Structure 1
Amino acid sequence: MNAAQLQKTLTASEYAERVLRLHQTEIEQDYALDQFLKPLSTAQIYQYVEDSIAEISDEKRWMQIMRILRARLMFRWIWQDANQLTDVIGLTRELSDFADACICAAKAFAKIPLVAKHGEPYSYNGKLQDLIVVAMGKLGAQELNLSSDIDLIFAFDEQGETNGRKCIDVQQFCILWGQKLIYLLDHISAEGFVFRVDMRLRPWGDGSALAISHAALEKYLSQHGREWERYAWIKARIVTGGAEGDDLLRMTRPFVFRKYVDYTAFEAMREMKSMIEREVNRRNITDDIKLGAGGIREVEFIVQVFQLIYGGSKLELQDRQCLVSLAHLGEVGLLDIEAVSDLEDAYLFLRRVEHAIQALNDQQTQSLPLDEDHRQRMIDTLGFESWEAFLQVLNNKRTKVVFQFEHLIKEKGIDSPTENFSQLEQQLDPLLDERAKNLVHEFWHGHAIKKLPAKAVNRLTEFWPHLVQAVLQSNDPQTALIRLMPLVESIMRRSVYLVMLIESKGALQRLVKMATVSPWICEELTQYPVLLDEFLTMDFELPKLQDLEDSLRQQLLRIELEQIEDLMRVLRLFKKSNVLAVAASDVLAESPLMKVSDALTDIAEVSVIATLNLAYRTVAKRHGYPLNMEGGRCSLEDLAFAVIGYGKVGGIELGYGSDLDLVFIHYMDEQADTDGHKPISGFEFAMRVAQKFISFMTTQTLDGRVYEVDTRLRPSGEAGLLVTSLKAFEQYQLKNAWIWEHQALVRARSIAGDVLLRAKFERLRREILTIPRDENKVRQEVLNMREKMKDHLGSSNEQKKHGIFHLKQDAGGIVDIEFMAQYVVLAWSGTKPDLAHYPDNVRILEDAAKADCLSSDDVSALIQAYLSERAESHRLALANQSMQVSAADWHDTREIVCKLWQRLIDPTASFAVGRE
């Protein structure tokens, strides 16, 4: 091994030093094969990956081998870069080819267990479906850097389902496939990772479904695609997915490249650049060679803005690679030759500097190092005599980029708002700090206003003094204004809302009051402006159960079963608008806590009942109806299927951000086939109903999702079946369930489905809970579980020292009271069965007093503490604040809870709050 080149490599990279220590034998073998001295073709890289994992079936070993391979190749690439045996273009191409090969290998490996479990995925017309992997960003352009993450989007061609015994729909199959692919590459083990995977560029971003169909993506881009996404999709490339992937990518091209000359690209770029500049200033990263002034991103922006403006008519500008398109800009005369030369020179230099930074420690950063040793390593690698000499060259090249960028993009402000509200603004001005003043200034001088039609600007100008006047009348003008500005920006194109607020002074005043109390409400209205329709006509009374049922039934009746997206939209808006109504009543009418929880639980129950009905009908339409255990035909009136609510929904204690803990049980003949044209077993039918239910509930759309659903409380948890027969549920609870699972059963109740099955469940729940138990054993099990929860979820010792109290998880908090109620049921309902009647904590405690298990005074104090803490948790949720509060403010309440905990559960516990 060439000693001088080795020393150059180790000087360039502390990471390379670590790799050499761990894998010296393998690296010496690589060197002996001349792998350090010559470039690798795409085919060679793919072969290198395939040979490394050939015949490996063990997941852990597969991941280990891939991570070691990545480390060996990284050592090689750092060697080549440090010794100038490669150039930026060759290095980034090899890195990208390696990423492609890893994605394909991970995709193939991830599919094997999925097919074994669920079968192959087919569309409804019988076409085998593939997971389409779209590379975005640097990987899409084959410009990956030394320590880059990879931006991916997962898609598939058509909806359908798998053909195995545990059948799931194609989308869910592809989601599971994608999740495993990510895990295989992204998971950090003892050997590190292969690639960090970023999925945030998919439609709707974080929180949305991980895989999307061709049709859904097409609809999203045509109806909801934003200008910044056009920039992102310039670099999109299909890594794997066959002809269907190529068809999908062709579909996106008209969204990216318009047929006409499109100057709106300037505005979008200005907005993105402004966002980046704010982020650079906020994080104080002006020395970031990617995001800082004159950095890599500005070169890319210059190229991309021309691509978006002219790419529809000049096809040569549709190339993904920055330097290729930059050269084309010179060829077609959109940039002069000197500008092209300066930008190309700066880009190549900045990318080489980027590699030198990332080689130091294999970190995803573009910021110049502050450490003197790291700086010396860098300039040795880059061939400079001093840091100052390096900076002089760097700044010279960045200055040329800044010049070209500023020359290209000229910004013009707009006139200030008309003077008819200047007097009101003068009253408001002393009440605002500098941040709020800047927010108002940026709003009126920003790009969003510039893009508004004149009519909309006039309407906004008319609305503004009404808003300022209402804000001035609030008890916190600055908070109200800051929280309402994003909402105003989101609705200013829909000027009908502005008119409604102008004409309804009361509605505007209520909106301002809500803003001062709850940023969460403002964010909901901002994200889903359609909710304003409901908000502006609300009477601020809590919705009644019958009204909720009638309203949702009437809305769903208007929509055909095949119109899945419309059905989901109705469900989502029903939930969101009614939760907003509850929040408004909570804030403006100061409704009692338990009434608020009742209403939130009613909304969830009505949603669950309707969703189960839709899921059942959808599956039955395709496969016919199953038989129940008595041999009778199940119908919409006799589902033989039920949804059990646990936790907050079971205990009628839902909060604003609560998810739903659900368990599915059935009373179907699992072996008998359904009576439709495409029969399936009763077991498969029950599974598909549950899967369809979860899909309806949790799929992210433009209108959000209905609820998050958690099914981990089912028998055997995540390892268990999604749906369980009543008999299997009974056997599990009687023979295999842990005490903590019986604790969970205390707060369980049936909330939807077949009436007879629900009654059977309630009887079974009562039988299980009233089994005589050893009080001491129950006490110890409850105590053990509580200690685990406090260790994992409660405040740290350091936080406690600083007077922090976690309202839910710390000693004396909500969970302590819940656990005491559960202890009461499990320990004493064997002799006092009435204790097992109710699933909610308040009524359990009241029954404990009636049964003389606890004193009336203790129960009264405990219930008051419980309601106080829950009321505060609701307030914090509306205020978007965490559950960590000042311990001093809750000393007396906690002491009440802790003293009873000591007497009831743990005699060794200290009730001197603050010394837990």
Structure 2
Amino acid sequence: MDGVAPPDPVAAAVERARRFSPFLAMALDREPGLDAALSAGRLDLTKSSATPDMPVGRRLRIERRALALNVAIGDIAGVLDLTAVTEALTGFADYALDTAIRAAIEERTPGEVPHGFVGIALGKQGSGELNYSSDIDPILLFDPETLPRRAREEPEEAAVRIGKRVVELLQARDGDGYVLRVDLRLRPSPEITPIVLPVDAAIGYYEAQALPWERAAFIRARAAAGDIALGQRFLDAVRPFVWRRALDFGAIGEIRGISRRIRDHHAQGQVFGAGYDLKRGRGGIREAEFFAQIHQLIHGGRDPALRAPATREALARLAAAGWIDPDDAAILIDGYTVLRTIEHRVQMIDDRQTHRLPTGDALERVAKLHGLDDSRALLEALAPHVAGIGRIYDALDDDVRPAFSHDAVTLEDDLARAGFSDAAAARQRIETWRSAAYPALRSPAAREALEAVLPTLVPALATAPVPQAALLRLDALLERLPSAINIFRLLEARPGLATLLATILSHAPTLADDLGRRPDLLDGLIDATAFDPVGDVASLMATMRAHETGGDYQARLDHVRRVVGERRFALGAQIVAGIADPLDVAAGYARVAEAAIGVLADATIAEFARAHGVVPGSELVILALGRMGGAMLTHASDLDLIYLFTGSFTAESDGAKPLGATLYYNRLAQRLTAALSVATPAGPLYQIDTRLRPSGGQGPLVVTLDSFARYQREDAWTWEHMALTRARPVFGSADARAAVSAVIAAVLGGARPSRDIVADAVAMRAEMAAHKPPRGELDAKLLPGGLVDLEFAVHVVQLVRRVGLHPNLGSAIDDLVGQGLLPAEMRAAHDLLTRLLVTLRLVAPDSQVPGPATQALVARALGLADWTAVVATLATTRQEVERTWQELTRG
């Protein structure tokens, strides 16, 4: 009626609670003060009838009853949303567990604070999502060194007694109810281990013995009570166990297997309707959680932003990062919210930890407690959410998987239909794999993984331009692998990667060889960012330093090698996949190398200084020349480096084992060269060429900046000054780099011996042609009119005219063209020849003409229509470069 105020939602919720929830009605009767406040519309989550002088257990039980009542009424009234409800319940659980730990320690050792004992929250307590009537599933840990204990008491004995008292305080029941049910079965090997574990033993377990499902459990782990610093130390130590960069799809399969076993075990709760299990049923809460956790395990090792413990937040972040469909994420988030809300209604009836919809009149009470007319309305509200979650989760794990026949005739027919021209040879390869002829395929698990991936892998290989060649390269890869399980599971889970692998195996022997040495390189391609530009040098250095812990120098070197290998492989894959310009890839290769030099130089200097100190007033400077100086590398480029040091050569280091400056820096540079070039199990980095240093291979590895400047001014040959045109400092302080750049600018600007540059260049080019002929008819570098001729032409003009002095060849050409000193066609010539060189280093490293399919890839990389256009454009370009070189050097 007009003029009549609507009922207060909190007061209305009190009325519904009294009518339809025996537990809430009892709680209202036991808390008359709260009853009055709530009936008047006042909600206060901090209010209870407990007093500080009560025994700890009783005080917590009364506080819990009051909180449960306030939260329930706020929830039913719509004043508290699901987030507010679960945060309040979790906050109380943390407080109660912490209070119980403090009380248990105080009872045994009065005056002691809870050092050395921590409760690690798992499950919904860990993620801040506790149910209305939920167990908590902590892992209790202790530190034997700091745990308070009585005289002559062993730490293990004290810890177990404290743990038992904690559980007793929380679980004991009386007329005021209970505080929390505690389930300690998520600890390592609960059937044989004590209820409280030493922290180091727990770390050892998770590092060496833990099961795949425990990884998923630790997505939501949190130090919740007691000695939080101890708990955080534990979690930091086991983080690599949870968030692995190398993907283990066996673990993903295990998580899916848990879901299937739950469906089987709780078969009666799978069918939607009265009696449906909101948590474990098909399309239920657990499937929304598992969907998020599976994707977090796949991608969270590489993207820390995805490690959100709360389910809805995790789904939102996965969608934002592009790993799951945004519409699917919305369906899962909405469904999870509704199911959790109704789950709370079910639990509010009798304060029981149940997840199953009741039947008959009991279901009517749940519906009416929620504010609906009847059970039919409740089921109608739930049905679309259950169907949506079930549909999305089912798509993760289709149990009806195709399989390849073991019958020789049928298998051969299938391979022929797939596109293999020699189906008999293809069948023989697959039969070889199945026979466990290779070490990587000898375990039953490996052969099972092979059978699972064949329906994905074989069609992908069949789409390759030359399926037989791709199959043979895969065979060679399998023959070399120590284990194939993970790569098979990765390909099974991500069919798109199987297609890319087939393309790499068909076209790129360089990348296929890299993959044979490090099959985990394929992992990196699952990350969407693998096909983005690699970022600037600073961001790459940050990535290379991201896993530095402690002072383990070798571990740091290995991490840099892994990152460099992943980035170089991904850059090469970008060209093969046709999604990046080879010029951009060449610049990316150079940024990766510069970042590696910076990180490894810092690490090597720090390690060297531990024994020998530093040379006061002096520092190492690294000068890059050649393609590295010009910031345009290929996949296989050497790094041309010169090591210099500032300050006086008469100085001495200040460490425990002092060295004179020259010996100090020469030994340091030897260490750094080894760090950059020596192969380890993590893979090789770069070949380092230091022959461009003063006096070449006859001179010391490192000289002072003053010596370098004097040599360049007085003694360097024309070819050394030509090399200097592409010199660029890549390591050292800003002041040191500026000093080196000033020396280079002065020398190139004319502070050098007067020589016949053109005659010297002509003689050098003839000598090179005689001793280093082209490797094949596509040698973009050494053929007449190739990159070497172009570089010589540019360097002659730079040295003679003293202009266009950019280390990057393309920028130098632009400057010289702008001044009318080179024909305009030279920039296009540079770009075409560089693209060809960078691409061929991957797909035809012998510079011979590749097969027709790879010819199309090369044409695409060069931005040309077809191979005919490649041949014609290359011929025209070489003629233009050769003509320019001849005109510049003609007497």
Q: Could you tell me the TM-score, scaled by structure 1's length?
A: 0.48
Q: Based on CA coordinates, which of the two structures has the bigger radius of gyration?
A: 2
Q: Could you tell me the TM-score, scaled by structure 2's length?
A: 0.49
